A and B are shown apart, each in its own frame.
Chain A
Amino acid sequence: MGKALDLFEKEEFYKCLQCAICTGSCPVARVVEGFNPREIILRYILYGEEDEVLGMKEIWNCATCHACQERCPHNITISGLLTHIQNLAAKKGNLPDTMKAAMTLMAETGWSIQATPRSDRVRTELGLAPLKRPDTAEIRKIFKEAGLDEILDLK
């Protein structure tokens, strides 16, 4: 994996006091049962339960809103850890289908949301030029660099 994706520093996590301000601040934890940033730090870093955490489906619920990180008394990069975990989990095959679909679309069309025949029609009616197809070759290059080729089943 590329270094750019290592958004966290393991050392700083040993400062974690388990004060739970992160989970207490997390908007996702309020609605998704089982998603708990404090517990992820405890298990993944402090207890070393890496494989178990990488297999959790809840890790994909992080909204990357950074509220945990902003309020952490020790400035620990919790959002960075979540991204890191998601990267590793994806490599291990823990990637939700919805995510896979979105990424495949991106790779194949350059869009994260598909342009439909209807949207093309509306554009014509409004006198707008048809949408330009993005250069997917560029995007595929980035995907390849990021190791997504091995994870996604791309055409």
Chain B
Amino acid sequence: MADEDKITAGGEVEEPRIGVYVCHCGLNIGGSVDCEALALEASKLEDVVVSEAQLYTCSEPGQERIKSDIEKHNLNRIVVAACSPRMHEPTFRQCVQDAGLNPYLLEMANIREHCSWVHLHDRASATEKSKDLVRMAVSRARLLEPQEEIDIPVKQKALVIGGGVAGIQAALDLADSGYEVVLVEKEPSIGGRMAQIDKTFPTMDCSICILAPKMSEAGRHPNIELMTLTEVVNISGYVGNFNVTVKRKARYVTEDCSACSECSKACPQLSPNEFDIGLATRGAIYIPFAQAVPSKYLIDMESCLNRNGVRVCEKCVEACERKCIDFNAVDREECFDVGTIVVCTGVDVFDAREIPQYLYGKAPNVITSLEFERLINAGGPTGGNLIRPSDGNIPKTVAFIQCIGSRSEKTNPYCSNVCCMNTIKDALLIKEHWPETEIKVFYIDIRAFGKGFEDLFQRAKKEGVQFIRGLPGEVIELKNGNLRLLGEMTLLNKLYEIEAEMVVLSIGLKPSIGSEVIRKFLTLSITSGGFFMVAHPKLRPVDTATRGVFLAGCSEGPKDIKEAVTQASAAAARANIIMRRGKVTVEAITPRVNRELCAGCGACVKVCPYQAIHLDGDKKAVVVEAACSGCGTCGAECSFAAIEMRHFTDDQILAQIDAFTEHEAEKKILAFCCNWCSYAGADFAGIGRMQYSSEVRIIRTMCSGRVSTAFIEHAFARGIGMVLLSGCHIGDCHYIDANTHAEKRFNKTRRIMRQAELDPSRLELVWVSAAEGQRFQEKINSMSKKLKTIPSEEIKSAMKYFGDRERKRLEKLRRGASDVNA
């Protein structure tokens, strides 16, 4: 490799020759930062050979300039001051690699998301801050070393979680591409919400008619292993090599079942049928619906007379000709490995009882839109007759109320996306069967944004459906079971009192409860509404921040069938890319152990979330690279400086701290941010242009667990005003639980400060998810206020105290090292 040439015989990297490239990013950076002044300032820094500002560094000419400069000036380190490394680090790594430099010799200064975008109206401060950010980047760049990445093989098998229409589509696409697929569904049949719906909008297709062929195809596909009544109980590992454990619940009916239905007829028990949302009953032995896949019966042990192993009823056993009933069946766990995962965990519906003034659950003729689907469905409990639950009559007036549980701070803050069109479709269905029915739709806004949606909306109006702007304040039940709606028609500025024989509440969608478990295993982030967050909302709309894990369907956000299917095919294609390649490259950020310095104390072994470190026969720590994810918490725990975290070394981080604490450190805040959550959260604040105070300087580590108490103490010894430690929320850590060690170190340092009679509130801790830009903004603003109140005496005392501590610690280390060498 080219970079190996640059390593001298003694293993010493040759003198750094650094090129600094400041990007205007049009006005994105140039509008708030004086880029020319910044480039000039950078040119004065030690070891900087070239420094210049460019309009767009990521552009072809921008990259060409870097490449030619590397050649011309023999540069061996590149600093790009531009956007977030989460955005363009891969671009520039490729760029320097093309020019023959090791990609790890690139460093980025984030002067856009963390500077120009969050200090839009304070050019002077933003420019000063950007100078610090470049100083930090240059200091780190000076110490960067070439690294070699390793490839790991990818298992040619995929897991699809959730068997709704998205999961079915993703599984079929992957299976058709030739990969083995495990499709896991917690219900007894695949089909999901789409199977429950009568017709689809805007085409008015019969939902189950178009879904059932896909369901059976998934059921019989040679590459798909269908696991229904199955839940994921654990996922470990990483891209290419996920280890999955599932719990397969007992069905009590064997594979031989021919779905003849004799057992169900014989069953003496009755339970509400979940598929019909309790509007119909089923036996304890049942099939969820006619088109269910697999087409096999099952026993609900909660309602079977033979529960708890007591045999009192043999009716189904006697009725079953093929002898398929097995009361001895038990739940069992199964483990398998997959290379990629597509998450399609779908949605639950809003519980309309949360809005008591609309009387759902109290007045029988107030139903939900999902119940409506079952009532209007020819295969449903009423054979497609829309009847009033109170008296079985067909209503002559029906009122739909929109936005139930959606667009509300009290319930779900987001728009559920499908309810407007669903109601329009429902209204047309009523008109189709009973044209004389008077239909009123009470709404806030009608959102008919998709292809063909507007046409359907117009059609409903033409057919006489009345759209009334203004939701009822309350619904009153009358003696005859009718409902009186009280509200205001905002378009007429007039109050109404309208009577309807039936009220349909257009309920919104919310994240599926089961998806919380999946989220934990896969360390996925969620957006404010509780849905999974994609890696980039525009350009990586089905990827997650966890490599090898993709999203499809409503688990990512409420969407209609077409969108869910589109996303599923996209997710399958993305998973396909990883598996087709057959290998993934892992970043060279794993630790190296200096055996001479290692004291064999085993502290690193204790904190490693992956059991990737052990002590060998000589009581020296050994890292298993394939198991390590590079969080760095071992490095932070080692008191003997025996562990070097590649690309995030102690020296590099300390150099970053030194670079901006040279002047006026007491007026600055140091923030440690983890790559996955809090750094991304700070990026999110930038993207959202959430303005905050400019004192903060961010140092990125992979995990908050990387942050050693020595870094924090060093910053205080250098006279820093305040320090913020930040990471993923507890339970959301991308390295299992490495952030809990960050919390311990935070508490420890605060304790030390208290004992030394220093102000412990100068060190703060905050958990910020990738979606919580505002939380980051608020934290920095509150710290900025506090910063201005810290007396200089306090700063000085901390400098002295932590300076002494550091000197003692280093002395001890040196003594230890010389002992070893002796």
Residues of A participating in the B interface, judged by any CB pair closer than 8 Å: 15, 17-26, 29-30, 36, 38-39, 67, 71, 73-75
Contact = CB atoms under 8 A, between A and B. Distances in A.
A41 B622 CA distance: 67
A73 B411 contact: yes
- Chain B: interface size category: 20 to 34
Interface string B487-505: 1111001010000000000
Given A20-B470, A24-B472, A24-B474, 5 more contacts: A20-B469, A20-B473, A20-B488, A25-B357, A29-B495
Contact of B488 (A38, A71, A73, A75): A38
B475 to A, nearest CB: 10
B471 interface: yes
A24 B487 contact: yes
A123 to B, nearest CB: 44
Interface in B192-245: none
Interface in B7-38: none
13 contacts: A19-B444, A19-B470, A20-B488, A20-B489, A21-B473, A24-B473, A25-B474, A30-B486, A36-B488, A36-B493, A73-B403, A73-B407, A75-B410
Contacts of A29: 488, 495
A93 B813 CA distance: 79
A15 B403 CA distance: 15
B490 A38 contact: yes
B408 interface: yes
Nearest to A29: B495
Contacts of A17: 407, 444-445
Given A18-B444, A36-B493, A38-B488, A24 B470 contact: yes
Nearest to B408: A73
A39 B493 contact: yes
Interface in B401-416: 403, 407-411
B474 A18 contact: no
Contact of A23 (B407, B410, B473): B473
A71 B408 CA distance: 11
A23 B491 CA distance: 13
Contacts of B410: 73-75
A51 B411 CA distance: 35
A74 B444 CA distance: 14
Nearest to B487: A24
Contacts of B487: 20-21, 23-24
Contact of B473 (A15, A18, A71, A75): A71
A23 B473 CA distance: 7
Interface in B433-473: 444-445, 469-473
A132 B487 CA distance: 47
Contacts of A22: 473
B324 to A, nearest CB: 51
Contacts of A21: 471-473, 487
A85 to B, nearest CB: 19
B473 A26 contact: yes
Nearest to A33: B495
A61 to B, nearest CB: 14
A73 B350 CA distance: 14
Contacts of A18: 444, 490
B396 to A, nearest CB: 24
Q: Which of A19, A25, A26, A38 has the most CB of B within 10 A?
A: A19
Contacts of B445: 17
A20 B490 contact: yes
**Residue of B357, B445, B473 most packed against chain A (CB within 10 A):** B473
Contact of B409 (A15, A19, A20, A23): A15
Contacts of B471: 19-21, 24
A60 B410 CA distance: 29
A29 B486 CA distance: 11
B470 A74 contact: no
A20 B471 CA distance: 6
Nearest to B404: A73
B472 A73 contact: no
B409 A24 contact: no
Contacts of A25: 357, 473-474, 486
Given A24-B472, A39-B493, A73-B408, A19 B486 contact: no
A20 B493 CA distance: 10
